[in-house]
Chain A
Amino acid sequence: MFPARFDYLRASSTDEAVAALAQHGGEARILAGGQSLIPAMRFRLARPSVLIDINAIDDLRYLRETGGSLLIGAGTRDAALETSELVTSGYRMIADVSVLVADPVVRQSGTVVGSICHSDPAGDWGVAALAGRAQIVVRGPAGTRTLSADDFLVDSFTTALAENEMALEVQFPRPSEHTSGAFAKLERKVGDFATASAAVQLTLDTSGAIAEAGVAIGAVGAKALRVSEAEQLLRGAKPSKDVIRAAADAARKEADPGSDTRGSAEFKKEMAGVLVARALVSALERLGVGGMA
């Protein structure tokens, strides 16, 4: 298949990219890794008349920890996280995602920020952003603003980005010593989108009770979903099989998937629960709390 005709601009700076967006507005799309956009264009599901390529903007390619957060630039590839000591040592849930997202070939090109901006409900990074309470920095003609992942992810393939804005960076707060997380996903094969996925992040207090919880599920709704009820159940609870079961049931309830070639709605709802439970068990194990399986 061949994309419909389009113009191509290579931006050499963020200023240039934002100016081009201002000029072309809704007709334009930002090209980062292109791992979702290009296939959509080949099937002619997306027909942008202008592509603004940001791959030449070296300033957007970084992965660093500043001010207590992991900062991932819009040009940073998934593969960079997979091999980052910073990520594997300090951000367990993100480290899980980095080896499960897409496949090794796609990870060489695909970007974390691009995936979040795509807001595919079955994408992995949106789920991780919710559970990890990430913030997204965006820039438009009026300057920059920072949005929470909850506010940023609006709907299927829809974000809070205005037509003249682009995302620059995603920021994940650094998990404390008593915080860990996990990501679990069911997929038909490596590289397929999730049939269902779950990301969790837990913080224990000194008494061993759960002080803070982030729980999100993917591929089971119009967008990545936060399971607030599960978070409330977990917050303040001592880790137990019962509370894990209750949190998983909350995820089943929150899930509102459609049926497709990846599975029926019924199956996906059930898997949302199974995966939340498994991710919680892994996260607790990583915090030294065993025997929860």
Chain B
Amino acid sequence: MSITSDSEPKARHSVGQSMKRKEDPRLIQGRGRFLDDIVLPNMLHLAIVHSPYAHARIVKIDKSAALAVPGVKAVLTGEDLTAAGLAWIPTFHGYDKQMVLAVGKVLYQYQEVAGVVATSREIANDAAELVVVEYEQLDPIVDPFVARRDGNILRDDRENKTNHIYHWEVGKRAEADAALASSEVKVKQRIYFQRCHPAPLEPCGAIADMNGASGRLTLYLTSQAPHAHRTVVSLVTGIPEDKIHVISPDIGGGFGNKVPVYAGYVVSAVGSVVLGVPVKWVETRTENLTTTGFARDYHMDVEIGASKAGKLTALKVTTVADHGAFDAAADPTKYPAGMFGVVTGSYDFPVAFTELDAYFTNKAPGGIAYRCSFRVTEASYAIERGMDLLAGELKMDPAELRSLNFLKKEQFPYQSPLGFEYDSGDYETTLRKALDRIGYTDLRREQAERRQRGELMGIGLSTFTEVVGAGPGRLFDIMGIKMFDSAEIRIHPTGSGIVRTGTRHQGQGHETTWAQIVAEELGLDPQNLRVEEGDTDTAPYGLGTYASRSTPVAGAALVKAAQRIRERARKVAAHLLEAAEDDIDWIDYKFQVKGVPGKTIGMKEIAFAAYTNPGPGNEPGLEATYYYDPPNMTFPHGAYVAVVDVDRATGATKVRRFVAIDDCGTVINPMIVEGQIHGGLTEGFAIAFMQEITFDENGNHLNPNFTDYLLPTSLETPAWETGNTVTPSPHHPIGAKGVGESPNVGSPAAFVNAVMDALAPLGIKHIDMPLTREKVWRAIRDSGA
């Protein structure tokens, strides 16, 4: 890896320290400022009227009763928005459009049909019940395999009369088919990664404040990507971008859910334009779960070929994706199925092919990157389940099968058969560490003894590889905007400073880690480097925080901007130390005259001089900006091991232990990384065992609240055992790879593999997530054991 200082420092100044989170005192004491904390003068409130049906024609909307309620200022419908040219807006990547408020018909249950603006939230909600919508019900489609038959075309607004959205493929079909056909051993399994929801604790919301006098629209949004949202708003409304100010305040969790633009944002903006006062919209839990971006919903046919000795020969994955009513999947423009091509995982496949077809159904749109770098979770789950199915077929230990087929560390940079260049990795070392930590050999022995007694105990592995940090501008854009990110650093005269990036954290700890990165480069105190994100008037342009891209992209921009600061500081140092600029070294976080160890000056003194005595010809002040276009993605990896016990009579599963060894390259703050791992593992645990968005045959959403969409509590969440290995990224300026998503990406397969391992003696091969007690009980019962 490249060390950015002129010579290796003896000890790290700031990076690598478990510094306490600077944002926590504010957030823990309830002194944060979330969207719903913001109250503006004369502010009105928006409530949304939702469709009770999954598919229906709108015959008539009667606003009169709602408008008659004292305090109601406006009732907006799709017709009103049509007049403003805002009934439809483009979806995330611009390939499709979506309704803001329903026009003509509704396409999913809970779809937004009308908006009521009133003087209080309570009045708006009461009046929303009085908007009378007459519907004529239509047959819904809730299964993408039914949609595929095109017997009932859902989107009559589109030119192509089909429910098929797109076909995508990568790799060599003929070669993969041939290699599979001639493989000595083959496994094939339909694996469904169920529809889930990120369910951030803070739901989505907006306050739109149109100032009729200045013509400026201020939008407070729960936004993971405030600049992108500003550009989208400008493109869609025609308002010049300088007249739009997006502010993303403290965010209570995003997980990809706060990347898209939602109906409430647009309707509150229209409400503010029409009424001339601020309009606030904060969604309810039910609205969040039923209308905002879902994740996953991939039906994957996984085929793997191998020799009898267990050497992999080919991989083929064929997927049917359920995208709901609009193609609002959050993926970069050129990657309709995101980074699904990482489905070859950590393994050396000589040939691979994957294809995917996406379909419309009468469900809410989405397909967002839920704590996942665009479909990496689906891909990792497919390959890690597939490897265990193969191990079962070969009667081989799954750890041994993985070791045999791992990419070796000498193979990096590695060109994957599906188009990625993996930057670095050391899979064997990470796996060994995980197996040692959990005591794998002893556990296998214990398992054999328990099986003798008829007890069901399982050990499950997942040795996943992620692709994160979107991304290089030549490949990655969203609506044409390249996926670079940016940093701006201003050092004040007294040696403190302000740091801004184009990202927007939602709990990731940027206020701390960004300060650590800059402090490391400049030898300053991270406590006195204030980090600010989320205000498009002040932050440099960037694409936001999701897909584990902040550290790989904005983190790199920070290093580069800090280096620019250092180069400017070097000139001031030369002036102060009365030496030529070429004779000034940066050693141990100080400038020093070459060969004169006593003649040094620190950044704090330089900062003061930059404003008071910069030296002849030197530009005063100490600021720098950098826009970083990454040369490649980064490829974090990890080895997870789960141990479960299964109760035969009830199908209840208990995760007895879980070891997670992650490798995200250089670690900036170990405590924050560990926190990220804990959070993501808990999400993965929930996905594996309890979460799914389901619909009945009429398209009724069956999980519209936390009574039926379950979030685990501390009482059932396993105690996580974490650790790491460090394989730096060779192309990132400090070798960091990004970590936020690894645990959500890697853990579902470990849990499921462990349960399937427990059930293996009964001949049970696969159960789709979530592994509820009933599903496990039914599989045991049907096995006849």
Chain A residues engaging chain B, CB cutoff 8 angstroms: 1-2, 4-5, 43, 103-104, 186, 188-193, 195, 261, 263-264, 267, 270-271, 274
Contact = CB atoms under 8 A, between A and B. Distances in A.
Give the size category of B's interface with A: 20 to 34
Nearest to A195: B773
10 contacts: A1-B125, A1-B284, A2-B126, A5-B126, A188-B773, A190-B715, A193-B707, A261-B694, A264-B774, A267-B774
A203 B713 CA distance: 37
Central interface residue in A1, A189, A263, by most chain B CB within 10 Å? A189
Contacts of B772: 188, 263
A257 to B, nearest CB: 12
A261 B708 CA distance: 7
A267 B690 contact: no
B713 A271 contact: no
B122 A2 contact: yes
Interface string B152-169: 000000000000000000
Contact of B125 (A2, A189, A193): A2
Given A186-B652, A271-B650, A191 B713 contact: yes
Nearest to A278: B649
Central interface residue in B285, B694, B707, by most chain A CB within 10 Å? B707
Interface in B766-785: 772-774, 777-778
A4 B126 contact: yes
Contact of A261 (B126, B702, B716): B702
Contacts of B284: 1
B690 A188 contact: yes
B690 A186 contact: no
Contacts of B774: 263-264, 267
Contact of A274 (B285, B649, B690, B710): B649
Contacts of A189: 690, 710-713, 715-716
A288 B322 CA distance: 57
Nearest to B125: A2
A188 B773 CA distance: 8
A2 B773 CA distance: 34
Given A189-B711, A189-B715, A190-B713, 6 more contacts: A4-B126, A188-B690, A188-B772, A263-B773, A264-B774, A267-B777
Contacts of A270: 777
A159 to B, nearest CB: 22
B286 interface: yes
Contact of A192 (B285, B286, B652, B707): B707
Contacts of B405: none
Interface string B286-305: 10000000000000000000
A42 B134 CA distance: 25
Contacts of B650: 186, 271, 274
B189 interface: no
A195 B710 CA distance: 14
Instruction: Give the 4 A-B CB pairs with smallest separation, nearest first.
Output: A190-B715, A267-B774, A263-B774, A274-B649
Contacts of A195: 773
A264 B774 CA distance: 8
A264 B715 CA distance: 25
A179 B690 CA distance: 38
Interface string B707-725: 1101111011000000000
A141 B712 CA distance: 45
A264 B781 CA distance: 14
Central interface residue in B286, B773, B774, by most chain A CB within 10 Å? B774
- Please report whether the interface of chain B is mostly helix, strand, loop or mixed according to DSSP: loop
B777 A188 contact: no
Contacts of B712: 189
A152 to B, nearest CB: 26
A103 B710 contact: no
A103 B694 CA distance: 25
A191 B707 CA distance: 9
B121 interface: yes
Contacts of A103: 713, 715
B237 interface: no
Interface string B175-195: 000000000000000000000
A189 B285 CA distance: 19
Nearest to B702: A261
B600 interface: no
B703 interface: yes
Contact of A1 (B286, B649, B707, B708): B286
A51 B420 CA distance: 63
Contacts of A264: 774
B710 A192 contact: yes
B509 to A, nearest CB: 27
Central interface residue in B121, B711, B715, by most chain A CB within 10 Å? B715
Interface string B674-716: 0000000000000000100010000000110101101111011
Given A1-B284, A263-B773, A190 B716 contact: yes
A78 to B, nearest CB: 15
Contacts of A263: 772-774
B282 to A, nearest CB: 12
A79 B707 CA distance: 22
A194 to B, nearest CB: 12
B101 to A, nearest CB: 21
B37 to A, nearest CB: 18
A270 B781 CA distance: 11
Interface string B741-785: 000000000000000000000000000000011100110000000
A29 to B, nearest CB: 20
Interface in B648-679: 649-650, 652
Contacts of B285: 1
Contact of A188 (B121, B125, B710): B710
A36 to B, nearest CB: 11
A286 to B, nearest CB: 20
Contacts of A190: 713, 715-716
Nearest to B124: A2
A160 B697 CA distance: 38
A273 to B, nearest CB: 9
A180 B650 CA distance: 24
Contacts of B690: 188-189
Interface string B95-111: 00000000000000000
A261 B777 contact: no
A192 B121 CA distance: 29
Contacts of B126: 2, 4-5
A192 B705 CA distance: 12
Interface string B492-520: 00000000000000000000000000000
B700 to A, nearest CB: 12
Nearest to A196: B650
Contacts of B694: 261
Given A4-B126, A186-B652, A189-B690, A267 B713 contact: no
A144 to B, nearest CB: 35
Contacts of B703: 261
Central interface residue in B121, B285, B710, B711, by most chain A CB within 10 Å? B710
Interface in B68-83: none
B363 to A, nearest CB: 17
Contacts of B777: 267, 270
A274 B774 CA distance: 13
Contacts of A43: 705
A43 B284 CA distance: 11
A195 to B, nearest CB: 7
A244 to B, nearest CB: 13
A2 B286 CA distance: 12
Contacts of B713: 103, 189-191
B142 to A, nearest CB: 16
A267 B778 contact: yes
Contact of A2 (B121, B652, B708, B710): B121
A98 to B, nearest CB: 15
Contacts of A274: 649-650
Nearest to B121: A2
Contacts of A193: 707
